[in-house]
Amino acid sequence: MKLKAVLIVCGLCLLGVGAFLPIRHVVVAPEWKVQFVDESGKPLSGLHVNQKWKDYTYEFWRPGMHSEILISDQNGDVIFPERVVSISILIDILARINDFITLVPHVDSGPVSMIQCDGVNFFCTDAFSRTDPGPLTVTVLQRSSNAGS
């Protein structure tokens, strides 16, 4: 009797642990190379660019987005690596239930990635999605010297 109880408990523990193990990976954004230029078309080197990404279908429980700041090279280029999230069996099941019970048409779902650069002199923003791939070149606007006054 004790052996049967131990086997049941061990089986339930293995099932519980297995529910949290990643079973597949979902690409939120593929590798994305972008050149940052000023309004005259001159490449901007040393620009700090923040990429944020999230898959709203599988990360509905996550309050914020993933984020990484990269710096443009001498040609104004930044290569954002492929962004992937790992999905467990439990998250996959919960995501399907969430999609089913969330019937509001304007609720976010699916993958999204955005880039932002913001500094003393320049600012920019753009986004990437599967239906609307991001640009290969982003024109960074110069802030006016009297901004904020």
- Domain harbouring 48, CATH code: 2.60.40.1120
Reference 62, options 49, 71, 53; nearest CA is 53
Does residue 76 sit within a domain? yes
Does residue 93 sit within a domain? yes
Task: Tally the domains of the chain.
Answer: 1
- In this prediction, residue 81 has a pLDDT band, given cuts at 50, 70 and 90, of very high
Does residue 67 sit within a domain? yes
DSSP H/E element including 23: strand 22-29
Does residue 106 sit within a domain? yes
pLDDT tens digits, 107-121:
567 888 888 876 655
Write out the residue range of the structural domain in which residue 100 sits: 2-142
Look up the pTM and report it.
Answer: 0.72
Does residue 66 sit within a domain? yes
Does residue 6 sit within a domain? yes
pLDDT greater than 90 at residue 70? yes
Reference 111, options 70, 39, 52, 49; nearest CA is 52
pLDDT at 111: 84
Reference 34, options 24, 49, 20, 19; nearest CA is 49
pLDDT tens digits, 19-66:
677 788 888 888 888 888 888 888 888 888 888 888 888 888 788 999
pLDDT at 148: 43
pLDDT at 44: 86
DSSP H/E element including 14: helix 2-20
Q: Distance of alpha carbon 21 from its chain centroid, rounded?
A: 21
Q: With contact defined as beta carbons under 8 Å apart, do 62 and 95 qualify?
A: no
The count of other CB atoms within 10 Å of the CB of residue 93 is: 11
Does residue 148 sit within a domain? no
Position with higher pLDDT, 81 vs 145 = 81
